[in-house]
Amino acid sequence: MSIPANTRPLTGQPPALKAPAGATDCHMHLYLPGYEAQPGGPNIAELATVADYRQVQQRLSLERVVVTQSNAYQFDNRSILQGVAEIGQARARAIVAVAPDASESQIEALHAQGARGARIMQLPGGAVGMSGLTAVEARVKAFGWHLMVQFNSHEIDIYMATLQAIDTDYIIDHIGKFMPPVAADDPRVDQILSLLDRGNAWIKICGGYETSLSGGPEYADVSPIAKRVIKHAPERVIWGSNWPHVAVPREQYPDDAEQLDVLLHWADESIRQKILVDNPAVLYGF
């Protein structure tokens, strides 16, 4: 099956934010030619290649990148690992899908190709949900990997005990993915802060457009949550573009520069250095 080439915007006005040297995009996806969607995942509408992303990367003045496994590929990590190989491990890492019964040799092979984390996706289409988290953690712990965990934080009560039991580092994805957004003083935001205080949790500023009802570029309903977590634990925050934004139709495609510029309003310059450079370097070993 032939997948059409990318038709979404790759260029445009640069962001107002001047990214510091070593700035890292900690969440994006690749859809390379020759790799098809797997059973259980969504279809692939368009390709999104390394060459495509390099245009976005140049526009935003980003230097490093973390390629995240797409739900479409389920446990077939070959596309993103090829992407990491094309970019080079000096500037790229991968977050892969790991089966709960994966062998040590399988994970060792993924590690050698630049994988540094495993994706746990509770939302529809995820290869491994929260029920598989403990088993996956046991597989990847010896390699120093972290878990990238995404769920609707309206349900965080259900998952608190599991999250509190994690020994490895883990990322709470997409600003907690509150669907719909809640007030910054909501008790469920307090629960996220309590997890950050434990010392092994991180949170990613990413994909606000997926949950916002007020819309960009301000994302006024998501902004208070983001500002609160950044103020509370700036040393535990990272950022991602979520390119190529496959969760939204083309007419709702967010401006990539605006996705970076939210940090102008949510964090001061010294904190942006942590979010874009220092924190990713610690987490991913750049």
What does the pLDDT average to over 78-104?
A: 98
pLDDT tens per residue, range 24-66: 999 999 999 999 999 999 999 899 999 999 999 999 999 999 9
200 part of the active site: no
How far is it, in rounded angstroms, from Cα 19 to Cα 192? 27
My answer on whether omega of the bond before 187 falls inside 30° of 0, hence cis, is no
Residues near 157 by Cβ (< 8 Å), separated by ≥ 6?
Answer: 188, 191
What does the pLDDT average to over 143-149?
A: 98
The pLDDT of residue 2 is: 72
The pLDDT of residue 260 is: 98
Instruction: Say which DSSP state 114 is in.
Output: T
The pLDDT of residue 249 is: 85
Residue type present at position 15:
P
The pLDDT of residue 160 is: 98
Would you say the C-alpha torsion 205, 209, 211, 215 has a positive or negative sign? positive
What does the pLDDT average to over 76-82?
A: 98
- Token pair of 209, please? 């457009």
Q: Give the chain's domains with CATH numbers.
A: 24-284 (3.20.20.140)
Q: In the predicted model, is pLDDT for residue 12 greater than 70?
A: yes
Residues near 193 by Cβ (< 8 Å), separated by ≥ 6?
Answer: 228, 229, 232, 233
Give DSSP secondary structure letters for 140-167: HGGGT-EEEEE--GGGHHHHHHHHHT--
Residues near 123 by Cβ (< 8 Å), separated by ≥ 6?
Answer: 150, 151, 152, 177
Residues near 187 by Cβ (< 8 Å), separated by ≥ 6?
Answer: none
Cα 157 to Cα 33, 160, 174, 191: the distances in Å are 41, 5, 18, 8
The pLDDT of residue 1 is: 59
**C-beta of residue 19 within 8 angstroms of C-beta of residue 259:** no
How far is it, in rounded angstroms, from Cα 52 to Cα 56? 7
Burial class (CB in 10 A: 0-12, 13-18, 19+), 198: exposed
**Residue keyed to tokens 């991602």:** 240
Q: Is 202 helix (H, G, I), strand (E, B) or coil?
A: strand
The one catalytic residue among 6, 71, 77, 242: 242
Q: Give the pLDDT band (50/70/90) at residue 250.
A: confident
pLDDT tens per residue, range 255-285: 999 999 999 999 999 999 999 999 999 999 9
What separation, in Å, do the N-terminal and C-terminal C-alpha atoms of the chain show? Answer: 37
